[in-house]
Amino acid sequence: MTRSGAVTFDVVIVGGGPVGLVTALLLARFGVSSAVLEAADGRAAAGSRAICFQRDVLDVFGRVGCGDALVARGVTWTTGRTYYRGTELFSVSFPEPDEGATPPWINISQAEVERRLCGLVAAEPLIDLRYGHRVVGLEQDGGGVEAIVDGRGRVRAAYAVGADGAHSDVRRLLGIGFPGRSFADRFLICDVRAELPFPRERRFHFDPVWNPGRQVLVHPCPDSVWRIDQQVPDGFDLDAERASGALDARIRRIVGDVPYEIVWTTAYRFHQRCAETFRAGRAFLAGDAAHVFAPFGARGLNSGVQDAENLAWKLAFVLRHGAPGRLLGSYDAERRAAALENLRVTGRTMEFLVPRTPEQRARRVAALERALHDPDARAEIDSGRLAEPYRYADSPLTTPSGPSGPFLPGALCPDVRAPWAANRCGCGGCSARAWCC
């Protein structure tokens, strides 16, 4: 306890969503203690926003202790196909993963990922996860930062991380702007359980018979659940559709006559925003608190986990290993640049998916028609560019070097099989059949 009555930790994390939980677990690996303050009283039982998790993020989950379990439970997929009016335009394939290697993509519900992370947090003595703790104030001085919790006093730490989602109170309390755009276009997610003859692939349909003039994305999930994400018209009313049977008809057009059960459904709008800075003094923003993107391309939670990974080792090196405080400046430089790149990519995708003007719409139809016959025109079709790890080419931590083949400065190092090195690095995670860390 401090003189102000605040309980002290190395780091206080505001928000016990996936990004807050991963940040705490990564910090604990370095022996750094944290309090995770979560406003909600517990975890929602149903519903999943994110479903697609990429390889480097699965590797991070592996480092905190649940990567293998998630890969075993998730649906691994390696192919994405794009259709126009039922005709395949093109496909993208990732190499099938070797035995023991992390797959390029799995689909699994965000809710299940959060449950696994919570299990790990509960077993970690360096993490104090507190539900029902809404942070309403933040004060900092030369030595630390204090989170003021509604009706429950203060929590003091050397640093704070705001991982409190798109409507971040931490961002507001720090006076950091969140410029960007919110779009009026509406999309509907129906997660349905059904035995369907669809393959384990990402399938994106422009203008299918089931949703003329609009689009539908279908993804396989564990336990025979399928995510159906479709664009819906202005004025769409989910409750009214449910009551009238229109929702059933909408789903039936896609799944056919087989029995199905709705697991979760939600209608959403998308937003494209990035915080003006990811750092104010001793406080940092991560995940949706720092950036929000349209979901096509799966860049939301994936990039939030990359934020956590980037920030955690820097905080740990400053707190535990005598690194200079200026190392923390590279977090904003690296992760904000990554967020701006994600905004650029998802912005272009959404221009194609939801054209604003009659001219843009006409251009989109013309491009889709041309792509039916002309392979060169397919480059214009944008059904979501799948996320890749960002290369920190301009980071203050990246030093220039000469030609270096696949090992580019600032880029994620490609995996290599190194059975001779198994367990010599002491990470405890690699073996003769798995990839070395």
Ligand X SMILES: Cc1cc2nc3c(=O)[nH]c(=O)nc-3n(C[C@H](O)[C@H](O)[C@H](O)COP(=O)(O)OP(=O)(O)OC[C@H]3O[C@@H](n4cnc5c(N)ncnc54)[C@H](O)[C@@H]3O)c2cc1C
Q: What are the residues binding ligand X (CB under 6 A)?
A: 14-20, 37-40, 49-52, 110, 134-135, 163-165, 169, 189, 268, 287-289, 295, 298, 300-302, 304
Spatial contact of 209 and 88, defined as CB atoms under 8 Å apart: no
- For ligand X, the closer of residues 33 and 110 by Cβ is 110
Residue nearest to ligand X (CB): 17
- For ligand X, the closer of residues 180 and 429 by Cβ is 180
Q: How far is the CB of 75 from ligand X (least distance, A)?
A: 13
Q: How far is the CB of 342 from ligand X (least distance, A)?
A: 10
- Helix, strand or coil, per DSSP, at residue 62: helix
- For ligand X, the closer of residues 21 and 316 by Cβ is 21
- Helix, strand or coil, per DSSP, at residue 248: helix
Report which of 53, 23, 15, 21 is spatially closest to residue 289, judged by C-alpha positions: 15
Question: CA-to-CA distance for 378 and 400, rounded, in angstroms?
Answer: 36
Spatial contact of 220 and 157, defined as CB atoms under 8 Å apart: no
- For ligand X, the closer of residues 124 and 164 by Cβ is 164
- For ligand X, the closer of residues 162 and 208 by Cβ is 162
Q: How far is the CB of 288 from ligand X (least distance, A)?
A: 4
Q: How far is the CB of 147 from ligand X (least distance, A)?
A: 8
- For ligand X, the closer of residues 176 and 289 by Cβ is 289
Question: CA-to-CA distance for 316 and 23, rounded, in angstroms?
Answer: 11
Report which of 434, 402, 400, 396 is spatially closest to residue 418, judged by C-alpha positions: 434
Q: How far is the CB of 130 from ligand X (least distance, A)?
A: 9
Place of tokens 């880029």: 411
DSSP sequence for 202-243 = EEEEES-TTSTTSEEEEEEETTTEEEEEEEE-TT--HHHHHH
Place of tokens 């070395």: 436
- For ligand X, the closer of residues 19 and 157 by Cβ is 19
Q: How far is the CB of 316 from ligand X (least distance, A)?
A: 20
Q: How far is the CB of 39 from ligand X (least distance, A)?
A: 4
Question: CA-to-CA distance for 10 and 320, rounded, in angstroms?
Answer: 10
